Amino acid sequence: MDTAGAVDVRWTQAARTERRGRLTTSVGLLFAFWVFLVAWSAIDAELSQTLVRTPWVRWGVTGLFPAGLATWLWRVRRSAWPLVTSVPFGTALLVLLLAMTVLGTVVLQAPARDYAAHYPAWLAPVLLRLGLNDLFHTAWFAAFLALLAVSLVCVAVKRQAWKVPMWGHLCCHIGVVIVLLGGTVGRLLGQKAFLELREGQSASEALATGGGTAAQATIPLGFSVRLEDFAVDRYQEESRLVVYRIDGSSVRPVRSLDAERASGWCAVGTDGTELRVIGSKGPAAEIELRNGGQVSRRTLMAGSHDAVWVGDGKALVALERRPPEARAYRSRLAILENGRKVREKTIEVNDPLSWRGWHFYQSSYRDRDPTWSGIQVVRDPGFGIVFAGFAMIGLGVIFVYYVRPFILKRRAAA
Partner 1 sequence: MIEELFGAHPDVGAVAVLHGGALLASAPGAVLRKRTLARAGMWLLAAAFLLNTWVIAARWVDAGRPPFKTLFETLLFYPWCVAAVTLAFVALHRLQVLVPFAAGVSVIGLAYALWRPDVEFVKLPPALQSGWFVPHVVTYFVAYAALFLSGVLALLALVLPRSRCGTAPLDRESALATHAHHAAVFGLGALTFGLFLGGVWAKYAWGDWWSWDPKENWALATWLAYMIYLHVRLMDGWSGRRAMWALVVSFAAVVFTYLGMSLLPTAEGSLHVYR
Q: Which of 42, 154, 397, 412 binds partner 1 (CB under 8 A)?
A: 397
Give the distance, in angstroms, between the CA of residue 338 and the centroid of all CA atoms in the same chain.
38
Size of interface with partner 1, in residues (CB under 8 A):
65
Q: Is 183 in the site for partner 1 (CB under 8 A)?
A: yes
Site for partner 1 in 12-51 (CB under 8 A): 15, 19-21, 23
Nearer to ligand HEM, 165 or 269 (CB): 165
147-152: Cβ within 8 A, 24+ apart: 147/33, 147/93, 148/93, 148/97, 148/176, 148/180, 149/176, 149/177, 149/180, 149/181, 150/84, 151/84, 151/85, 151/89, 151/90, 151/93, 152/176, 152/177
List the single partner that 5 binds among partner 1, ligand HEM, none, CB under 5 to 8 Å by kind: partner 1
Q: Across the beta sheet with 238-247, what order do the strands follow?
A: 250-258, 238-247, 315-322, 307-310
Neighbour tally for 55: CB within 10 Å: 11
Q: Which of 225, 187, 254, 217 minimizes the C-alpha distance to 343?
A: 225
Q: Is 192 in the site for partner 1 (CB under 8 A)?
A: yes
Angle value at C-alpha 181, between 176 and 183, nearest 5 degrees:
95
Q: Which of 383, 403, 407, 411 binds partner 1 (CB under 8 A)?
A: 383
In whole angstroms, the minimum distance from the beta carbon of 351 to partner 1 comes to 8
Site string for partner 1, 136-165 (x = CB under 8 A): x-----------------------------
Q: How many Å apart are CA 300 and CA 246, to the nearest integer?
A: 19
Q: Which of 159, 192, 226, 240 binds ligand HEM (CB under 6 A)?
A: 159
Size of interface with ligand HEM, in residues (CB under 6 A):
20
Q: How many Å apart are CA 386 and CA 184, to the nearest integer?
A: 10
Site for ligand HEM in 354-383 (CB under 6 A): none
Query: Three-class SS of residue 18?
Result: helix
In whole angstroms, the minimum distance from the beta carbon of 145 to ligand HEM comes to 10
List the single partner that 344 binds among ligand HEM, partner 1, none, CB under 5 to 8 Å by kind: none
Nearer to partner 1, 15 or 334 (CB): 15
Q: Is 15 in the site for ligand HEM (CB under 6 A)?
A: yes
Q: Which of 96, 172, 262, 275 binds ligand HEM (CB under 6 A)?
A: 172
Contact at 8 Å (CB) between 250 and 294?
no
Q: Enumerate residues 6+ apart whose C-beta is below 8 A from 74.
A: none
Residues near partner 1, by CB under 8 A: 1-2, 5, 15, 19-21, 23, 87-88, 90-91, 94-95, 97-98, 101-102, 104-109, 118, 136, 183, 192, 235, 240, 242, 252-256, 267, 270, 325-329, 348-352, 359, 361-363, 376, 378, 380, 383, 386-387, 390-391, 393-394, 397-398, 401
